[in-house]
Structure 1
Amino acid sequence: MGFIDRLRESRFKSQALLDERALTACLAYVDLNPIRAKMAETPEISDHTSIQRRISAAKEGRQPQAILPFAGNPHNPMPDGLPFRLQDYLDLVDWSGRCLHEGKRGAIDKKLPPILERLQIDPRHWLYLNKNFESRFRSLVGTTHSVRSACERLGKRWAHGIRDCERYLSPPAAS
């Protein structure tokens, strides 16, 4: 295998997102790529991202076509869509983006975004995930419970990165 083949192979990764925590971390990670790469200063001007499409559609009072909509807070029966509100996601991405890019205008509000509280993710862990998602997770991503359940269904005895899933994506143990 030549250098170019190895380079191409290592560039693309596949991770199974097993629950809302993993999905949210991955969505925000991808939506913030242009900001981390200094190709855009804000999510609303970051070309070719789902967040730009969501913001444009929201300005017109609608959900964007061809991507899964936000369906609001989880309830039964849960409609098709992502299980939180668009506004919470926009706040979360904006908050994360301000933390990732030191020179960006504004400051982090002392009050945590509602979605982090709801998902019980430590803000420091959230920032770490947004900077290192691809390097920390190789295949299965989610709470340790979700990963272990998937391993059982797949007949796997072990999953690479399960300690990181426990540390960064699992809710804290009840005291």
Structure 2
Amino acid sequence: MSPNTQVCVQETPYYHVVSRCVRRTYLCGVDHSTGRSFEHRRAWIEDRVRLLSSIFSIEVSAYAVMSNHYHIVVKLCPEDAQAWSSEEVLIRWTSLFKGPTLVQRFLDDQNLSPAELKAVSDCVDIFRKRLTNLGWFMKCLNESVARQANKEDNCTGHFWESRYKSQALLSEEALLSAMCYVDLNPVRAGMASTPEASDYTSIQERIEPKFDAEKAVAEQMEQGAITKFNLPIKPLQPFAEVINNDTQNDLPFTFIDYLELVDFTGRAVLADKRGAIESHLPPILKRLNVKSDSWLKTATQFEASYRSHFTKSPPSLQRSA
């Protein structure tokens, strides 16, 4: 089925997305036939996901970048884009694409005729819709990585096996299951012994933030993957501090409960999976040395203490951040 027929924000804003390298070869890991390492490409994908989520009205709930595929759990937030001004929409879009000449003139504060302003307004409507669209998010992610990889390999052709696969998460149970599945992927594959040791995953990033936004922006600019970037970096979708029956924008469970559930699930030994968390290891909260008296402060001030890169942005962007 076409992804467009599978995505309906009215039914659910949450989706689990998977994209796999062509022929299922290790184009992001280590080529076992030649011994050549492509591990750095996993960082390309992680950086691209984080920057795109800051441009699009899409929250990243969980992700894991593996050797030959990646998983993302996202939340679509079209209501956020509706609050953006016309200038903000154009600034976001031209972070990825050069944009029409009229749009460039508008952003340069040049005088435009009424007919030209109408054309710019039409562009704003189109770009606003695209910046809420999962298909455009995935297009901007996969095409960029494919171009970088082909340039590095000095070749042409497909890098990804297919466009991408999406799965609607219709309940809180489905969302929680998908996030646990994604964060435990390296453990199940035998690539890591514990979730906190799993590189290029959201759970490791939440436990000990390492994302260097300034470096990611500089590298993406150098590669031509973005044209400019003067937006605040969006953190991963936060967990709820308090669970209630009202509609919540945050993930509908607490981070401490999620950690314990991931740890519990990861200890299950599955016949069709290579890895599991060793039974002799202490619980994850003890491994992380999390103390109950300091946990609330850490959890509630996560975004404030998050090591991210903020550049000067227009007042409209600062208000929406």
Higher RCO structure, 1 or 2 (CA under 8 Å, sep 6+): 1
**Which structure dedicates a bigger proportion of its chain to strand?**
2
Which one has a bigger Cα radius of gyration?
2
The two structures have a TM-score, normalised by structure 1, of: 0.48
**Which structure dedicates a bigger proportion of its chain to helix?**
1
